[in-house]
Amino acid sequence: MNRKIIIAAAVAFTLGASSCKKYLNVNTNPNVSQSATLQTLLPAAQLYLGSGLGVDLQITGGFWAQYWTQSPSASQYRLLDQYAPAQDQFSYPWSNLYEAGENFYQLAILADSGKAKQYKAISLLMQAYTFQLITDAWGNVPFTKALKGAYGKDTFNSHITNPKYDSQRVVYNGILAYIDSANSLINPNDVILPGADDLVYGGDMTKWQKFAYTLKLRVLLRLSQVDPVTAQAGIVALYATPGVAFIGTGDDAKIAYGFNTANKNPLYAEEAGLGGTQNLVASSTCIDSFKSNSDPRIGVFYELGLAGDYEGLPQGDFNSTVTTYSIPNVYVAGDAQNSASSKAPVNLLTSYESLFLQAEVAARGWVPGDDAALFHAAITANFNYYNTQITATSGSTGADAYATYVAANGYWTQYPAGGTSTEKLRFIITQKWFAMCGNQSFESWCEWRRTGYPDFLRYSKNSLIGNQFPKRFIYPTSESTANANFPGLAPLTSNVWWDVF
């Protein structure tokens, strides 16, 4: 299986870039210049991030948030579906995400030397984003002494080949510091601005500012259960920031793919590398929930089964003889035999996630706001994000489909505006789960761990750990064999720091 990224493509990304997976560093790749530039480091790092998030985190999140399950006609992810992944299951995302972090770290150093403050701001925000993915997946991880193997600014902070593991509290404090540092640098009118080399926003620093505020809101809300005092205080201060604005319609942070035949969505590239085998099929947990609410988004996220209906398999039921199940749609890169999957983006932060976050803080009473209006605005944003796809699959515009959906009065549209914050949170997070189906799967799984919602997930039929759910990734073999400061394996079922359920 060829799991490789050819980072040389980042040099010419304005013409398209490869998304296969190879763990090369732009400073040592013999195929590219040995002198890294801002314009090569930024897209290279973003490609590493897109690969780590768009393949392994997307697949694992898809299984463990119960959007997808293993096809009975294949076997690639059976152990994942049985809650018994091998240690090396998570070697690739670990490598890709730390490669991304390393390149963002180098970018910050290079930006400093060239007085390119906007590049440094992006590098800090991307380091914050990347380390949140890493720590949310594995828990305690190398952070303060990470990325210092050969590129430190001084003797004390370089050539650290056995970085210590930091607690998640330390990592989260560092993430918030990265965001604040980036905010102090952002200036849309700066002389030196990125352009097409910025694969997320094309150098639009106004959008990066919104990204920074929205990411901070996500990070603080992740602490809502384990440290609500800090979370609330941070959010109140965030909302009091002069000019604060969050991601809205048209501000979605994503990496687009499909510019040419070499530039494929990384999940589709993975599927193509497996010979086009359809390993991913629809989980009945999600399919049944969509259908019970007459939710038209089912046609965006899944394809019709052979019987002409949307059908899923019970989670982990890969021994089934049923052949009429649905598969993930091309719009989430899930159809392994349809090249249209190559055009699906990898989403980092979306307008609908932003609005669900805002609805939650209002529902908790931490800041003023109409939580019911924000709840419905978030769902509307998801329908609008997939407007073209909804039109293609249902014949209605996103706006019309949303109106019909609400008029049908399905259970999950009946927001308890007069209810308790707990009742409201249940609806907000469950609707977020619907919205993120197959397109922000890892984040959805994180939100399930944080809140316990949706509260109708089912144990895998072939679980090898009994009636338990996985709560974290396993550290890769490379850490247990090569890092002298490795703390030992944590059980798959043990909670990470912010997960108190």
User: 46 with 173, same domain?
Assistant: yes
237 Cβ neighbours under 8 A, 6+ residues apart: none
What length does the chain have? 501
Are 112 and 171 within one domain? yes
What pLDDT score does 22 carry? 34
- The more confident residue out of 108 and 154 is 108
Q: Are 293 and 368 within one domain? A: no
Q: Is residue 413 domain-shared with residue 442, that is, in the same domain?
A: yes
Helix (H) or strand (E) holding 347: strand 346-349
Write out the residue range of the structural domain in which residue 123 sits.
7-264+346-456
Residue 495 has pLDDT above 80, yes or no: yes
Contacts of 51 (CB under 8 A, 6+ apart): 5, 19, 21, 96, 266
Contact status, residue 300 vs residue 329, Cβ threshold 8 Å: yes
Same structural domain, 23 and 136: yes
**57 pLDDT above the threshold of 90:** yes
Evaluate if pTM is beyond 0.85: yes
Answer with the one of 431, 456, 481 that is the final residue of a domain. Answer: 456
8 A C-beta contact, residue 333 and residue 448: no
Residues 29 and 54 both lie in one domain: yes
What are the tokens at 315? 């989670």
In a domain, 470, yes or no: no
User: Is position 47 within any domain?
Assistant: yes
pLDDT tens digits, one per residue of 175-217: 999 999 999 999 999 999 999 999 999 999 999 999 999 999 9
User: Percent of the chain, pLDDT > 90?
Assistant: 88
**Rounded to 5 degrees, what are φ and ψ at 388?**
-60, -40
Question: pLDDT at residue 459 above 50?
Answer: yes
- CA separation for the pair 170, 177 (Å, rounded): 11
The pLDDT tens digits for 108-130 are 999 999 999 999 999 999 999 99
Residues 307 and 251 in one domain: no
**Gyration radius of the chain's alpha carbons:** 22
Residue 496, both tokens: 């990470």
pLDDT at 36 over 80: yes
**Confidence check: pLDDT of 49 > 50:** yes
* CA 448/CA 457 separation, integer angstroms: 9
142 preceded by a cis bond (ω within 30 of 0)? no
Contact 21, 265 (CB under 8 A): no
Residue 80 lies in a domain: yes
Could you report the per-residue pLDDT of 335-352, keeping only the tens digit for each? 999 999 999 999 999 999
User: For the chain, how many structural domains are there in total?
Assistant: 2
pLDDT for 150 equals 55
Residues 252 and 205 in one domain: yes
Strands (E), 133-185: 141-142, 165-166
- Residue 270 CA to residue 185 CA, distance in Å, equals 37
Confidence of residue 160 (pLDDT cuts 50, 70, 90): confident
What lies within 8 Å, CB to CB, of 26 at 6+ separation is 7, 10, 32, 36, 40, 41, 44, 103
Q: What is the mean pLDDT of the chain?
A: 92
Question: Does residue 211 fall inside a structural domain?
Answer: yes
Residue 492 domain flag:
no
- Residues 207, 305 within the same domain: no
Mean pLDDT, to the nearest integer, of 81-97? 95
What beta strand segments (E) does 85-199 contain? 141-142, 165-166
DSSP string, 251-289: --EEE---SSTT---HHHHHHHHTTT---EEEBHHHHHH
Q: What is the pLDDT of residue 154?
A: 52
Peptide bond between residue 296 and the one before it cis (omega within 30 degrees of 0): no
Here the CATH number for the domain that contains residue 449 is 1.25.40.390
**Looking at the predicted structure, is the pLDDT value of residue 21 above 80?**
no
Q: Is 337 part of any domain?
A: no
Same domain, 176 and 249: yes
Determine, yes or no, domain membership for 340: no
Residue 4 has pLDDT above 60, yes or no: no
**In sequence order, what are the residues at sequence separation of 6 or more whose Cβ sits closer than 8 angstroms to the Cβ of residue 420?**
none
Q: Which two tokens stand for residue 6?
A: 């050819």
Lowest mean pLDDT of 131-140, 146-155, 171-180, name the range: 146-155
Is 200:348 a contact under the CB 8 Å cutoff?
yes
Comparing 463 with 88, the larger pLDDT belongs to: 463
For 27, the token pair is: 């400073």
- Whether the CA torsion 345, 349, 352, 353 is positive or negative: it is positive
Q: Where are the alpha helices (DSSP H) in 279-350?
A: 284-292, 298-301
Nearest to 266 by CA among 57, 42, 495: 57
**pLDDT tens track for 350-389:** 999 999 999 999 999 999 999 999 999 999 999 999 999 9
Same domain (yes/no): 197, 314: no
Q: What is the pLDDT of residue 148?
A: 79
Cα–Cα distance list, 316 to 83, 311, 320, 384 (Å): 9, 15, 9, 32
Share of the chain above pLDDT 70, in %: 91
CA gap 55, 332 in Å, rounded: 11
Query: Would 271 be classed as within a structural domain?
Result: no
Alpha-carbon span 483 to 429, nearest angstrom? 38
Position 9 scores a pLDDT of 43
Q: Does residue 391 surpass a pLDDT of 60?
A: yes
Nearest residue to 96 via CA among 270, 212, 230: 270
For the chain, give the longest Cα–Cα distance: 65
- Are residues 230 and 305 both part of a single domain? no
- Using the predicted structure, report yes or no on whether residue 18 has a pLDDT greater than 80: no
pLDDT tens per residue, range 232-279: 999 999 999 999 999 999 999 999 998 777 789 999 999 999 999 999
